[in-house]
Amino acid sequence: MPVLKRFFLMSLLCVIAAGLFACGNNPYPPADGKSINYTALAEDPRTLDPAQVSDTTSAEILDQIYDSLYQNAYLFRPYTVEPALAAGYPEKRIFYEEAREKGVTKKVARMEYTFRLRDDVYFQDDPCFPEGKGRRVTTRDVIYSIKRLADPAVQSTGYWLVAGKIKGMDAFFKKAAATGKADYSLDIEGLSAPDDGTLKITLTEAYPAFIYVMSMPYTAPVAHEAVEYYNAHGREGLSRHPVGTGAFRLKSWKRQHRIVLERNPTYRKEYYPATGAPGDREKGLLDDAGKRLPFVDEVWYTVIPTAQPMWLLFLQGYLDASGIPQEQFDRVITGKLDLSDAFMNKGISLEIGSDLDIYYITFNMRDPVLGKNTYLRQALSLAYDSDLYNQIYLNGRAINAQGPLPPGVFGYDPAFRNPYKTHDVEKAKQLLAKAGYPGGVDSRTGTRLELTYDIGSDSTRAREAATFDMRCFEQLGIKMRLQVNTFSQYLERTMKGTFQMTSGGWLADYPDPENFLQLLYGPNKPPNPNAASFSNPEYDALYERIKTMDDTPERQVLIHRMVAIAVEECPWIFNVHTPSYVLRHSWYKNGKNNSISGNYKKYVRIDVKARSAYCEAENRPDYKIAVYGLILLLALSLPAVVIKYRRRRR
């Protein structure tokens, strides 16, 4: 057969085959009548061992599988905790005992929590249990989980939450560190289980925020049978085989691909809340009040690290909810920060939620130039334009930060205005002159002030943002130098305090102001999270007080004072808080933004019929274009046929 003919035939076959194979763009197999929530993850979870969780992605999955004694109330704002596996709130008792500290015997206050466990909580059915049936959870399982945090073999990322807080915890860790492995038969003085349903925890000092610790996956009950079974030689480990008490259990997990959770058939009786925050009823968030949880049969998490495919899948209806990629923001959101008509007409809704975070520029208080010169730091803060930063890098959606606390946290004062965040370059220049650098020149030596700005990544985004920050400061006549580090170099420099300025951010571990205010607490200086090495005796004393207090008006007054100190001393330039913009399709019911990740999937309901109708209408393949393409291909091949024909005739 002539080769040209063969080639045309092959092309034709390829096109036909492609047409036959192209069987629509649905990325999922048939749901078989199940109600499935399709969602995306920006990265693969690092681990599904609750003691090792440190990233938000792992926490997102773990929270659905492992329930803790407490959980964040789904609808209430500001965030509050409510009992989950616990039968009610804990009893608290403060008592005094004599203790030797630094060679001196003194009376110290201790706090004892008594938790009671529900009697209908069972571990998920799993091969690690006899006959595969999950056994009843006892308070000894909670103790076991807490001990795992101090086991060097576990490499827990949550030990800091209990280190120095639970009586006897440090001694347990020390013994374990000496041998490289914890001995679980050893008791910890501050942990006891008088019976299967009671747990007593003695803290070294009053620490009301401890209830948040008991709502985190770190303290979720873990079955020792699961650890022993899955961590045995030749098995993949507990990090791949979670066995919890949550509304969902792991069905399958293919790394960098997909995680499927399925409804836990032995889940305790739990019902959708009947009360919520103001406005929730009007939004239909209480329509399912009193119904048994969870609503969906399965949750499919697809790992999608890039924004483009995530966005396309959302538009096709193959993802139930999505964030808004930066490059799409102007198309989706109007100038008034509303959803554009094109999206509203598709039945898509927008929720703007406040994330508990803060982004800031850190001054190194150990630096001889910046650390001792408050006027200089204040001048730099005044020169910084957070609003412009917000417009350029965050599509104008962020909130200009006035202090270390984000909105939604106890103690946040919406009326408070930071006098050094007014972006007033003239005033900044005056302060700079007061600082000893009129026009940016050192009045003693006559040399121009030069400051170094450190970044920990060579990415374009990091360079651009740093350049923006430096431009703001250069308006004052200061010379800025950019120091680009590898991540490890950056970590070293911040740990050793050998930098001058850098940017930073913090996302809340739990919704208590203490979690943010500790970032400027003197004893927390590097390598701990106080990267600025800020130390102020009044601030530190106040921190030690608010740490032990409940959310009372008195605590609020003290927090306001701490914020005022931080603002006046200016160890940071408080930059922005970033609210999250979430889009949801009409079939996604009961959606409410949760910035403190929690077990929220059990509240989600999916209207499967509405989704099918949308997907069918949006995703009907258009074969006409393929036919036109084929005709075009044949037409383009025609000259070759002509040449061939002519040559043969010759």
Partner 1 sequence: MAYYIARRLLLAVPTVLGVCLFTFLLFNIFASPEAIARKQLGKNPTAAQVQTWISSHGMDKPMFFNFERGRDHALHPFDSRFWNHMKELVLFQFPESDYLHEKVSSLLKEKIVPSLTITVPAFLLSILITLPLALFIAYYRGTYLDRTALFVCVILMSIVVLNYIIFGQYFLGIVLKYFPVYGYEFGLGAWRFVLLPIIIAVASGLGGGLRFYRTVMLNEVRADYVRTAMAKGVSEEMILFKHVLKNAMIPILTVTVLSIPFLITGSLLLEMYFGIPGMGNMMLNAISNHDYPVIRVLVYVYSLLYIAGSILTDISYTLVDPRITFK
What residues from 310 to 339 belong to the interface with partner 1 (CB under 8 A)? 310, 312-313, 315-316
614, 39, 612, 607: which is closest to 347 by C-alpha? 614
Give, for 351, the enclosing helix (H) or strand (E): strand 349-353
End-to-end CA distance of the chain: 20
84, 67, 209: which is closest to 511 by C-alpha? 209
Q: Please give the residues from 87 up to 146 whose contact with partner 1 meets the rule CB under 8 A.
A: none
279: Cβ contacts below 8 Å, ≥ 6 apart: none
Q: Please give the residues from 35 up to 94 whose contact with partner 1 meets the rule CB under 8 A.
A: 43-44, 46-47, 49, 52, 54
CA pair distance 25, 31, nearest whole angstrom:
15
Among 105, 306, 345, 445, binds partner 1 (CB under 8 A): 306
Among 71, 139, 204, 239, binds partner 1 (CB under 8 A): 239
Nearer to partner 1, 10 or 352 (CB): 10
Binding to partner 1 by residue 340, rule CB under 8 A? no
Among 9, 12, 13, 22, binds partner 1 (CB under 8 A): 22
What are the tokens at 433?
């002159």
Let me know how many helices (H) and strands (E) the chain has, helices first.
Answer: 19, 21
Binding to partner 1 by residue 487, rule CB under 8 A? yes
Given a contact cutoff of 8 angstroms between Cβ atoms, the answer to whether 577 and 401 are in contact is: yes
What are the tokens at 347?
């039945």
Q: Please give the residues from 135 up to 194 whose contact with partner 1 meets the rule CB under 8 A.
A: 152-153, 155-160, 163, 173-174, 177, 180
Amino acid at 72: N
β 91-101/104-116 pair status: antiparallel
Q: Which stretch binds partner 1 (CB under 8 A): 19-27, 351-359, 539-547, 568-576?
A: 19-27
Binding to partner 1 by residue 620, rule CB under 8 A? yes
Instruction: Give the Å distances, CA to CA, from 325 to 305, 343, 569.
Output: 12, 15, 37
CA 182, chain centre distance (Å): 30
Question: CB 357 → partner 1: shortest distance, Å?
Answer: 13
Nearer to partner 1, 69 or 304 (CB): 304
Binding to partner 1 by residue 470, rule CB under 8 A? no
Among 492, 522, 548, 586, binds partner 1 (CB under 8 A): 492
Binding to partner 1 by residue 255, rule CB under 8 A? yes
Alpha helices, H only, 384-424: 386-394
Question: CB 487 → partner 1: shortest distance, Å?
Answer: 6
Given a contact cutoff of 8 angstroms between Cβ atoms, the answer to whether 593 and 579 are in contact is: no
Nearer to partner 1, 133 or 174 (CB): 174
Q: Please give the residues from 406 up to 435 whose contact with partner 1 meets the rule CB under 8 A.
A: none
Among 194, 284, 523, 621, binds partner 1 (CB under 8 A): 621
Given a contact cutoff of 8 angstroms between Cβ atoms, the answer to whether 61 and 48 are in contact is: yes
Nearer to partner 1, 22 or 344 (CB): 22
